[in-house]
Each structure stands twice: as C-alpha cells, then as structure tokens.
Amino acid sequence: MTTDSMPVPRTTNVARRWKKSGLLRQEMIEGWLFASPFIIGFILWTAYPMILSAWMSFQEWDILTPPKSNGFNNYAKLILEDKLFWQSLGNTAFLTFLGVPIGMVAALATALSLNVKTPLTTLYRTLFFLPSQIPGAANAVLWALIFNAQFGILNQLLGYVGIEPVNWLFDKYTVKPALIFMGLWGVGGSMMIYLAGLQGIPQELYEAAEIDGANLWRRMWHITLPLLTPVIFFSLIMGIIGSFQGGFTSVYIMTEGGPANYSLVTMLYIYRQAFNYMHMGYASAFAWILFFIIMAFTAIQFKLANRWVFYETNK
Amino acid sequence: MQTTEGRVTRRSFLQIAGLAGASTLLAACVAPTAPASAGESAGTSAEKSPLVFWDCPNSAADLPRLEARDAMFEERYPEVDLQVDYFLGGSTDDFKQKAVTQMASGLFPDVIYFQNSQDWIYKGIIASLDDYIDSDPEVDWDDVLEVAQIVATWQGKRYQLPTGVNAWSLYYNKEYLQENGLKMPEEYLAEDRWRWNDGFLELTQGATKGEGMDKFYGIHMNTSGYWGHDELAEVIMSNGGAIFRTDPWRAALDEPEAIESLQFVLDLTKKYGVNAELGAELPQGLELTYSAFMLTGIWMLSSGAFRESFEQFGYEKMGHIRFPYGFNTDYSRNEGGAGGGMATPLEAENPDNAWKWHKWAFNEYCKVSYTNFHSQAPARKSLAADPDYLASFASFESVDEWNYALETTVSLPVPNNGSEAINLMMAEWERVMLGEITVEEMVATVVPQMNELIKDTPPA
C-alpha cells in the first residue's frame, strides 16, 4: 500500500478545510452556539453535580459544617454494615423485576387493544393516557385513599364479595404488590410508545400473512412482536432505569417506607440520608453505587439485546 | 436589526439569542431574595432596614392569619422592611431541609421558624439571645413557662424567646359518650381512676363498637411512621419513661417504664382492640373519626387545615382531658413542642431587627389570639394563668385541664442524628405491631443502635 492510498484522517481534513473556509468556520461556531444552551446546562446541572457528588461520596459532610475526608468509609459502611442499604435495594429490585414486566405487558396489551379503528378509539386512547399525566403526588394521595384499610374503595368492593378488609399499605406481604398495582395506573405513557411502534409495522406484512393463512396468534407471534422488539427493548431499558431511580413520590407520601421498611426504596433512603439526616457524603456514596448497578443492568440488557431485538436494517 | 428582504439574518438572530442567553444566565446567578410582604411598596422599602423571616405555616389556609400578623408588625415597626418567605406545602421537617440547604449556600434569614431544631444549635448556626434578653427591660424571662425555658436553653445560653407550647392531650366526643351511657373521663379523674388500666381502658372499651370497616374505635392513636413517635412518647412519658435521656445522652427505651408503655400501646390494638391497626389513617376531625378519643396537639385543633372540620363538628361537643396516668405515676406528661417559636442565625445580617420581632412576638402578638404563631398555646405563665385568655382556646370549658396540659408538657430532647434514631425505633416498632417481634426484642435490637447514632451529641 502506498502512502497515496492511505485514508486521510478526518480531523486533518477538517482542520485543513477550517483554515481554508471562513464559511465552514462560521458554521461550526454557529453550530456550537446553537448547541451551547444544552452544553452549558449539561455542564452546570448534570456534569458538575455528578463530579461533586463523586467527590462528596468520599467525605463526611453534614452540609452545615466543612466536609471531612473519610476515604472509602461511606462505601464500606453501606456495603458491610448498613442493613437498610440492602433492604432498600431488595425492595427496589422486587418492584423492578416484578413491576416492570407486568407494566410492560399491561401497556402492550392496552396498546394492542387500542390499535383498532373504531369511532371511539381516540377517546379510549385519551382516557387510558390521561392517568399517566396526573402528577405523582396527586396519584399517591388518590391511591392511598383507594387502599385505605378502613374506608378505601378497594376494600369496600372486596367486601361485597365477602373478602375481609386488607391493610394494603401496612402489611408486609401486600405493600409492594399494592405499589406495583398502583403503577399500572400510569401505563398510558408506555402504551403510547407501543401504539406508535404498532402503527409503524407495514400492513402488507399482515395482508401477506393472512393470505398465507396465518391466524391472529401467528400474526402476533411472527410479525407484531418481532417488529416491536426495538420498542419493547426501549421500554425495558427505560422501565428498569426508571424503576431503580423511582418510586420515591409514592412511598414518601403513602407509606414513608413502612411498614417496618418493607417499602423503603433506594431513592427514599438516599433522600433520608441526604436531607433528613444530613449525611450528604453517605447519600452520595449510595447514589454512585446505584449508578453502577443501573449501568451494569443496562449493559447486560444491551449485550443480550443482540439475541432477541430485531431491527429492520438487520440482515 | 440586520434583515435580508425583511427577514432576520442568521447573524442578528445569533446575536440576539446570545444576548438573551447571557442575560438569563446572569439573572439566574443573582442570589434570590425573599419576597416583600403584603402591603409594601418598593419605594418605601428602600428607606427601611430589612428583616428577613423564613416561616413555616401549618398549611396555606393559615396564610391570611399570618399575613395579618405581618401587617401588625409593620404597623408597630414602620422603620422595618419585613420580608417573609413562607415555606408551603410540606411538614416542619421539609422546611428544615429547605432551610438547611439554603443556609448551606450562604443565604441566611434574620429570623427563622424553630421547632425541634436543636441540632442547629449544636452545629453553631443559631445565635444566643442572652445579651438582648439581659439588656432589654421590656422582656421578662421569668414569665416563660419552665418547660419552654428548658427547651430554649442549651449549655446555659438562651437561643429563643419562646412564644408557644404545642401541648398534646386527649380530646373526646362528649356527645358520643353521653349517648352510649358512658361516664365522662372527668368523673374517673375525680374518683382517682383516670389510669391506663382502669378508667381509661373501661371507657375506651365501652366506646368501641362494631367490626371490620364499620368499627368505631375507643381511641385514635396512629403510631406508624416517623411522626408516630409523638404518640408513643406521650404514653411513655406518662409512665415516667423517656425515649432519650440527656444525663448523659442515651436511648431510654430499655427502661422498665418505657417497655411497659410500649406493651400497653400494643395491647390497646392487639389485646383490647380499642385502637386501630397500624397505619389505619383515621381522619383527624372527630366528626369523621371513628373513635371516641383522639390524642393530638393544640396545633391540629386550630390549624387552618383542620380547623374547619373541628368547627363543623362543634367545639362544644368536644371534651378535653389530660392523658391518663401510667402504671408508675400520679401524673401525666404531654409530649409537645415546648418552646416552639423563632430563632436567629449567627449569620443574620440584621440581628437588631430580629430582636424587635422576637420581643414583639413575645410581648404583644402572643396576646392577640390563641392561634398566635403556629396554633400553639402561650409559653408565658401570665397568659397561661389568665382564665379569660384561656377561655378563647376553642371554647374549652376546662381551664384547669389546659393549665395542666401546659404545665406538664415536655419537649422530646433532640440529640444528634435524632431523626435517624427515631426512624430506626419506629421501624422496629412497626415490626412489633406486625407481630414479627416482641417489645423486649425490639428494645434489645434498637437501643444499642440508637445509642451508637446519638453518641456524639454534646452534653446539655
């Protein structure tokens, strides 16, 4: 191979053109200017706090007095001594690995049932989507009333069929399932994404399959689901990340993490450590551990995605 | 502006966008200031000296009353530019978090709402008022109720001029007791039978009716969650026990008096069935509450959020009595926020104006109404002893009982890491209520953990 045939590095190429072309330079400046609101916002409100929290995770700091370095003590204490750290992780994992799949199935089922054209389809879609737009705090208050052991509507309905009142939010066996059940109220957001995915599937495929005699189940299994896998994958990733980072509003308002910490989720525990107990360094350490846990799960999912996610561009 | 055929050019657009962005950033970087209080004009505020006050109303419903209070202060001190920042939409704990975060960023008020915030004193944030109190002849420190004096004082220095006491005690539905042929609690008191395992139990058992969702309970004591410790403390202290002791600092749940008390609270639900199960959020108003007795503080009766429902129920139907005596005492103690009120941070820029506020609140405003600052009872002996003033307390007939409540109120000591220790305690208590462990097991587990957490608290 001669040197003439070697590809010129793109950076060199751009640099050369940069020197020659005033227009290109102007376009680049303008490009950066247009992107600058995001870049500045990202640096100020995301990158800087992240770096600061990484530093804080090695400090003992109560916010009001100067921080003191304490090496890896926060991490060691969390992992080796703090039972609530493990309990909150366990609770969050339960809510994630049970709640996310159930939520996905519910959202997909709703999307499938609303992916038909009837005069009232738009109305139904709106009705199913609306609850997902209710603020979390209002949702939590609403469901606290529904689950109330004494005068909640759920127990009243169960009473009509002879079931004794259940203390939904203050029983260790029912509190987490109740929170998962409540989460289904907000499947409207995911439902819209599935609907968009469903409408992106070419009709010709269904027509061809129908001509070939494929029944509804086969069309679903061999066309809908494979072509929907990118959307399902997206939903799974976002669902797991959201679940690990979420749940704060509902447990803060409805259960305070109780009874006996059976609904204490990671975010509530981080919040308590940071703002109730003023252990900002300790809370930062937990936040970073959570970050690495989420990153690991996301990486695993991306790795496994090759096996089951089908993109139309795939050969 | 440069235009090309009437259109904005890219260059001019970028110039304007850049300018606007820079202005927005600069505006965002300017330190926020508290909003000016009602009725104040920008023209006059420049000539006045400021007084920044961070307040924490019980609810937004209290705002009109508090704004009227602010107007009264401005009228009294026209030279002061009162700037009140109301923290709405959260508990006093939420307020503390917001206040600490703001103070950590270097923003300090001159006066700050101060309730269960003794840890701020340990951390050196709050200024001692000793010099002002000692040098101002208009302030009579000896008129402060002793319980409030104790809370306002730390290591011999006074950090507050107490304005109120949030006395807790028992409220009951007189009509319900009469309709069901039950004796009034005062009769048990007169017979020396107003004790946990005597008149109190007899009355609450007699008042309990029905099953399941239709059950009417003898008493409403919600002992779940962080704030459930208030109810537990009331019972423990009425038996001569304590959650924390301060001499030296330690968790005291392993004392026999505390263990007996916790067992009694458990029995009220599990054995006698007179109190609801864990987390049964009975509505607070007696007219809605499925209970004959309710354990609560004065703040709830007169606070905007609940006041309406109590008024609707009718204060005349409501009785008031001290919490019954425990197994080991001939008195009852009331857990409450003794000495609740205001404090001034060390970094306050206008401490003299802050003192004007403290003094005005102490000498003048607290006489205006029982719903003074935060719906608390007065912290001054002279007012607590005035029958006419006390009669304004929501038409309660029993002035003696009010005096008793005020005099026997004890504020829960707040050690370092107190919130975390209480949360640990309440989580283990919930395990007791769930039937997972016994009271003795709870105490054995939680006391060493609580002691470890509070060990760095400076001596009182």
User: Considering CB atoms only, which of B104, B278, B420 is closest to A170?
Assistant: B278
8 Å CB contact of A276 and B224: no
Query: What is the DSSP secondary structure assignment for residue B292, as one 8-state letter?
Result: E
Q: Residue A289 in contact with residue A78, Cβ under 8 Å?
A: yes
Residue B356 Cα distances to B68, B89, B110, B136, angstroms: 17, 28, 11, 11
Q: Name the DSSP class of A99.
A: H
Say which of B100, B212, B224 has its CB closest to residue A278.
Answer: B100
Q: Return the structure tokens found at B126.
A: 């709050």
Q: Give the model's pLDDT for residue B305.
A: 66
- H or E, element range at A195: helix A188-199
* B276–A277 C-beta distance less than 8 A: no
For the ranges A10-19, B126-135, B163-172, B187-196, the lowest mean pLDDT is seen at A10-19
Cα separation, B97 vs B413, in Å, equals 19
Nearest residue to B242 via CA among B447, B397, B35, B41: B447
SS3 content of chain A, % helix, strand, coil (to 5): 75, 0, 25
* Residue B353 to residue B81: CA distance in whole angstroms: 9
pLDDT higher than threshold 70 for residue B434: yes
CA B98 centroid distance within chain: 17
One DSSP character per residue, B41-53 reads -HHHHTTSEEEEE
Share of chain A above pLDDT 90, in %: 76
**E-state strands within B359-444:** 377-378, 409-410
Q: pLDDT per residue over B369-419, tens digit each?
A: 555 445 567 788 887 777 777 666 554 556 677 677 777 777 778 888 888
A161 shares contact with chain B (CB less than 8 Å):
no
Q: pLDDT at position B221, please? A: 87
Give the distance, in angstroms, between the CA of residue B443 and the centroid of all CA atoms in the same chain.
26
Residue B167 carries which side chain, given as an amino acid letter? A
CA distance B365 to chain A (A): 32
- Give the separation between CA A222 and CA A217, rounded to whole angstroms: 8
B120 within 8 A of B347, measured Cβ to Cβ: no
A272–B428 C-beta distance less than 8 A: no
pLDDT in the model for residue B35: 39
Q: Which residues contact A211 (CB under 8 A, 6 or more apart)?
A: none
Rg over CA atoms, chain B? 25
Asked if B212 lies within 8 A of A164 by C-beta distance, the reply is: yes
Assign A247 a pLDDT band (cuts: 50, 70, 90): confident
Reference A290, options A83, A95, A93, A100; nearest CA is A93
* Tens-digit pLDDT profile for residues B264-295: 999 999 999 999 888 766 655 555 567 899 88
Closest partner CB to B226 (pick from A37, A256, A275): A256
Q: What is the pLDDT of residue B408?
A: 77
Mean pLDDT of chain A: 90
The verdict on A25 touching B (C-beta cutoff 8 Å) is no
Q: What is the pLDDT of residue B10?
A: 57
Q: Is the pLDDT of residue B97 over 90?
A: no
For the four alpha carbons of B172, B174, B178 and B180, in that order, the dihedral sign comes to negative
Contact call for A259 and B433, based on CB within 8 A:
yes
The residue with greater pLDDT, B129 or A22, is: B129
Instruction: Tell if the CB–CB gap between B278 and A151 is shorter than 8 Å.
Output: no
Q: What are phi and psi of B41, to 5 degrees?
A: -105, 150
Classify residue B402 as exposed, middle or buried by CB count within 10 Å of its CB (0-12, 13-18, 19+): buried
ipTM of model over 0.85: no
Per-residue pLDDT tens for A158-188? 999 989 889 999 999 999 999 999 999 989 9
Task: Name chain A contacts of B104, Cβ cutoff 8 Å.
Answer: 63-64
Residue B48 has a pLDDT of 87
- 3-state secondary structure at position B86: strand
pLDDT at A52: 95
pLDDT computed for residue B42 by the predictor:
40
Does B164 score more than 90 pLDDT? no
B278:A150 CB<8 A: no
| Structure token digits, residue B211 | 């099953």
Question: In degrees rounded to 5, what are phi and psi of residue B310?
Answer: -70, -40
Q: Are A90 and A266 in contact (CB under 8 A)?
A: no
Looking at the complex, report in whole angstroms how far the Cα of residue B163 sits from the nearest Cα belonging to chain A: 26
- Taking the CA of residue A101 and the nearest CA in chain B, the distance in Å comes to 29
| Chain B CA closest to residue A65 | B123
Mean pLDDT lowest for which of B200-204, B236-240, B430-434?
B236-240
Verify whether the Cβ–Cβ distance A276 to B420 is below 8 Å: yes
User: Do residues B452 and B282 make contact, with C-beta atoms less than 8 angstroms apart?
Assistant: no
The span from the CA of A79 to the CA of A84, in Å, is: 10
CB contact under 8 A, B213 and A62: no
- The pLDDT score that the predictor gives to residue A68 is 95
Question: Is it the case that residue B40 has pLDDT exceeding 80?
Answer: no
pLDDT exceeds 90 at position B57? no
What is the pLDDT at residue A9?
A: 53
Residues B30-58, mean pLDDT to the nearest whole number: 62
- Of all residues in chain A, the percent with pLDDT exceeding 70 is 92
Give the residue from B112, B430, B436 with the most A CB atoms within 10 Å of its CB, the best one to mutate. B430
Q: pLDDT band at residue B339, thresholds of 50, 70 and 90?
A: low
Q: Which of A95, A74, A68, A99 is nearest to A270 (CA)?
A: A74
